[in-house]
Chains A and B, each alone.
Chain A
Amino acid sequence: MSALEKLKQLEPIQFRYKEEIDPTQPLRAGFSAQQVQKVIPEAVKEVDGVLMLDGNVLMNYIRMAREELLTDSSK
């Protein structure tokens, strides 16, 4: 599956961190690590029981997707 197709399977979310984590609780944009893990397992790692997203991996997928888009558009 191409990077583009994988990215399309990700489900962007809006959320707030729990109050005890972030007292100001602004609305944020991002992803669910659990959902990303199903699509791009290498982009998620567990640190002390908490799932964390590796932004570098996701960024690489975006780069590859962009190249795919550019290639498609040049055909």
Chain B
Amino acid sequence: MSLDFKDTFTMDPVYDVGTYTEPSWVTDDNFFKYDPKETGGIDWSTIYANPDVLQGSGDDYSSDLLSKGIKFASDYFNSKGSGTDEQSQYFDQEKAASGLPTDKSRESWYQQVSPSVGLYGGGGGLYGGGGAGSMVLPAAQAVQSLSGMAGTNPGMQTLGFNDYAKAAVKGLGNQLVNKALYGINPVLGAVNQFYPGGATEAFKDVTRFAGGIGNTISKGVGGVVGGVKDFFEGIFCDERLKVDIAPLESTEVNDELAQMAFFVKGLRECS
């Protein structure tokens, strides 16, 4: 079976999602068919039919949104991949354009991008570190969720998750978060910009579809391996970021990490 990333958004809600169980927060099968006039959401059919409606929302992106987005991200992150501390020549320039300080030694700051997406920088504190820019986790989490879905679209595999996470950790402004998302997929950039609550809210629902795809492809022990070909490199697993930690029994988010956790749980129980 071959699935395009677009399928994640457009697939029929009654599509065979295998063994996937809906999380408790799923409330409506027609999430992506909402009437924008009633929900304040975006009109997906209009966007797919006419990508130019996005023009201006991502600066210079036009009909070839994805390629330009990827080029921007590639340039921005200097194409160095994960694990380097090198910054793009555009980093300070873009931060300044976003109204963010470029002085790394500055004390902590916080910027509310949307009702559910906030940006943290500097200070250290809760997460330790104390370097330049501590966390942009809500936005980064969104990217993380997307990265998990990237396996369905070869065009999205150009950059690793850590490239985006690194930028998030270093403290991006709203424009840059959007650009990072546009770099992954223009539709996702649009989600972050137009969906009420931003990408984090939208991805709660997207996860349902993504999890369905994952479970359809990967059934059983072997499927966990075979169905996910480009897993992300940086997952926020630091205990200091978590609460309510307990031995695994259940989850409301069925992502690749959850599948691996349940796989290991199965191994332990069978031994």
Residues of A within 8 Å of B165, CB to CB, are 47, 52
Task: Count contacts between A and B, CB distance < 8 Å.
Answer: 186
Of the candidate stretches B31-39, B42-50, B51-59, B133-141, the one touching chain A is B133-141
Tell me, yes or no, whether B237 is within 8 Å of chain A by CB: yes
Whether the Cβ atoms of B263 and A62 lie closer than 8 Å is: yes
Q: Which residue of A lies closest to B129 (CB)?
A: A49
CB-based contact B252/A26 at 8 Å: yes
Q: Does B28 touch A at the CB level, under 8 Å?
A: no
Segment touching A, from B9-17, B88-96, B218-226: B218-226
Given A8-B267, A29-B261, A66-B222: A23 and B116 interface contact (C-beta under 8 Å): yes
A38 CB within 8 Å of chain B: no
The CA-CA distance from A42 to B94 in the complex, in Å, is: 33
**What residues of chain A lie closer than 8 Å to B201, measured between beta carbons?**
24
Name the residue of chain A whose CB is nearest to the CB of B249: A14
Give chain B nearest CB distance to A73 CB in angstroms: 11
- The A interface is mostly helix, strand or loop, or mixed, namely mixed
Whether B236 and A52, one on each chain, are in contact in the complex, defined by CB atoms closer than 8 angstroms, is yes
CA distance A71 to B25 in the complex (A): 41
> Nearest Cβ in chain B — how far from A32, in angstroms?
5
CB of A15 within 8 A of CB of B242, answer yes
In this complex, what residue of A is CB-closest to B132? Answer: A48
A interface residues, how many (CB within 8 angstroms): 47
Q: Which residues of B contact A56 (CB under 8 A)?
A: 231-233
Measured between beta carbons, the chain B residues less than 8 angstroms from A4 are 267
List of A residues within 8 angstroms of B271 by Cβ: 8
Report the nearest A residue to B161, measured CB to CB. Answer: A55
Give, as a whole number of angstroms, the nearest-CB distance from B248 to chain A. Answer: 4
Binds A, one of B73-81, B120-128, B177-185: B120-128
> How far is B249's CA from A49's CA once the two chains are assembled, in angstroms?
29
* Min CB–CB distance A25 → chain B (angstroms): 8
Tell whether A50 is near chain B: CB-to-CB under 8 Å.
yes
Q: Are A47 and B166 in contact (CB under 8 A)?
A: yes
8 pairs of A and B residues whose beta carbons are closest in the complex: A49-B129, A29-B258, A33-B237, A29-B251, A12-B248, A55-B231, A12-B261, A53-B237
Q: Which residues of A contact B (CB under 8 A)?
A: 4, 7-8, 10-24, 26-34, 36, 44-45, 47-56, 58-59, 62-63, 65-66, 69
